Amino acid sequence: RPSIVWFRDDLRLADNPALRAALDRGEPVIGLYVLDEDGPGIRPLGGAARWWLHHSLASLGERLRERGGTLVLRRGPADRIVSETVTDAAAGAVFWNRRYGGPEREVDAGLKAALRAGGIEVSSFAASLLFEPWTVRTGAGTPFSVFTPFWRACLALPGPRAPLAEPREVGGPHRAPASDSLDDWELLPTRPDWAKGLRETWEPGEPAARRRLREFLQEDLANYDRARDEPAAGATSLLSPRLRWGELSPHTVWHETVEAGAGGRFLSELGWREFAWHVLFHHPDLASRNLRPEFDAFPWPHLKPTHLAAWQRGRTGLALVDAGMKELWHTGYMHNRVRMVAASFLVKNLLIDWRRGEEWFWDTLVDADGANNPFNWQWVAGSGADAAPYFRIFNPQLQAKKFDPDGHYVREWAPEHLGEHPPDPLVDLGETRKAALAAYERVKSAS
Ligand code: FAD
């Protein structure tokens, strides 16, 4: 009776403990991916994420076939679909790598119990985080709410396990259950086809992810600490979508970085990813609720749709914000420094609720991540864990001077700002800053 490996946010063959366990069982292995768009509480993917997923699944399917395996694609609520596939395949075991979002954990726990009750072997594995969320605790036994002691505690634990080798064969004779065709899922945009810039920028899939990791470690890591904040420097790893989709495991990134020497600062960015996921684990509604409840008192003014649209399209009249929002629209990515500035402008100069910005990023980022995105939005808004203090408001003009002093980044994405008649700012930075601070008084008096 074959084993099923249920792939989720781990679209890779190397360092995949669920796949390894299925192979060790010694029976034929069937890969399964379920597109779950309507399971209870499951957040439907955004447009750019769907684009990435399509190509990453195509790559994974091809790699499994080359090794004698199969990738079965099915669509629908995961609990029903996985059970049906087990029956169709007459499978004896199901293996998966753990997920950490609230609704996902519920689905997985329910399924595990139901399958086991039916005599099916089920095992789940740690693969997507370096440290399991329940293993990192303060001295008092509570979860950390500040990054530095959190990361220190992580580093004091036994280090991340070494990555598992990529299997050469994944197969054995079996009768594969019926699969949907990837094209029928219509994950790619057609009318209009807005993905041209994504195609020009990215190559999804595990082989390209590994190449990028190697290239980053050889060519860019040495410059990382110095240049990581400069959006034109190309000094960061661009691994975020690869980690988001699990084309690389954090263990692989960790160990290869350590072998390449140095990298403490870079590794601590992986630490922020861990922190965001641990916070989500303890606060499953991170994308919808202020982590600090006193922020519920924030008097958001009535939404001005024209302001939101100007921000989304990169027409705010602030060079760095516009450049960032255009980079995002074109490539599905934005440099971290610019994400912070663009997010701060939305929340603290346009006084638009951080959730509207989070939703836009969710739809447009190829690395849109269930923890990192809401976590960082709340960090910028001041409502989150170890967040920037609300009153520290980025000035987008000063940020541009500091981090893009020669205007290389703005020239690439928003050259209209460097012409003779640059656009006017949508709002006055000084006045809106004052209004934001006045609104914040309500939060202070609620705390
Ligand atoms: P590098 O600097 O090379 O960092 C290496 C890896 O560390 C990244 O790939 C990422 O996995 C992790 N990392 C780095 N910075 C952070 C951070 N602040 N928080 C969590 N993990 C981090 N990152 C996402 O992966 N998905 C998101 O949806 C996302 N939304 C964001 C929204 C806002 C408003 C902000 C300010 C940041 C957001 N980030 C998000 C974090 C960060 O901007 C990106 O991870 C980073 O820009 C990706 O580029 P890189 O891989 O070259 O980063």
Distance 392 CA to ligand 1 centre (A): 21
Does residue 192 have a cis bond before it (omega within 30 degrees)?
yes
Distance 44 CA to ligand 1 centre (A): 21
List ligand 1's pocket residues with C-beta within 6 A.
Answer: 228, 236-240, 243-244, 269-270, 272-273, 276, 336, 339-340, 343, 361, 365, 367-369, 372-373, 376-377, 380
Mutate to test the pocket of ligand 1, among 269, 270, 369, 386 (most ligand atoms within 8 A of CB): 269
Q: Mean of the pLDDT values across residues 176-192? A: 95
Closest residue CA from atom 10 of ligand 1 = 240
Q: Is the pLDDT of residue 39 over 90?
A: no
Distance 83 CA to ligand 1 centre (A): 35
Q: Domain limits of the chain?
A: 1-127, 129-162+206-282, 293-446
Going by the DSSP 8-state scheme, the letter that residue 75 receives in this structure is E
Active site includes 336?
A: yes
Q: What is the pLDDT of residue 191?
A: 87
Could you tell me the pLDDT band of residue 389, with boundaries at 50, 70 and 90?
Answer: confident
Q: Which amino acid is at 130?
A: L
Range 1-127 has CATH code 3.90.76.10 = no
pTM summary value: 0.98
Distance 391 CA to ligand 1 centre (A): 23
Active site includes 269?
A: yes
Q: Mean of the pLDDT values across residues 108-116? A: 98
Helix axes 319-331 and 336-344, enclosed angle (nearest 10): 120
Place of tokens 């990453």: 56
Active site includes 300?
A: yes
Q: What is the pLDDT of residues 280-305, one digit of tens each?
A: 999 999 999 999 999 999 999 999 99
Topology match between the domains 1-127 and 129-162+206-282: no
| ipTM of model over 0.85 | yes
Q: What is the CATH number of domain 293-446?
A: 1.10.579.10
Q: Is the pLDDT of residue 385 over 90?
A: no
One CATH from 1.25.40.80, 2.60.120.330, 3.30.110.40, 1.10.579.10 for 129-162+206-282: 1.25.40.80
Mutate to test the pocket of ligand 1, among 244, 336, 363 (most ligand atoms within 8 A of CB): 336
Q: Which of 96, 245, 272, 329 is catalytic?
A: 272
* 3-state helix vs strand vs coil in the chain, percent to 5: 50, 5, 40
Q: What is the pLDDT of residues 205-248, one digit of tens each?
A: 999 999 999 999 999 999 999 999 999 999 999 999 999 999 99
Q: What is the pLDDT of residue 174?
A: 77
Q: What is the pLDDT of residue 359?
A: 98
Q: What is the pLDDT of residue 447?
A: 78
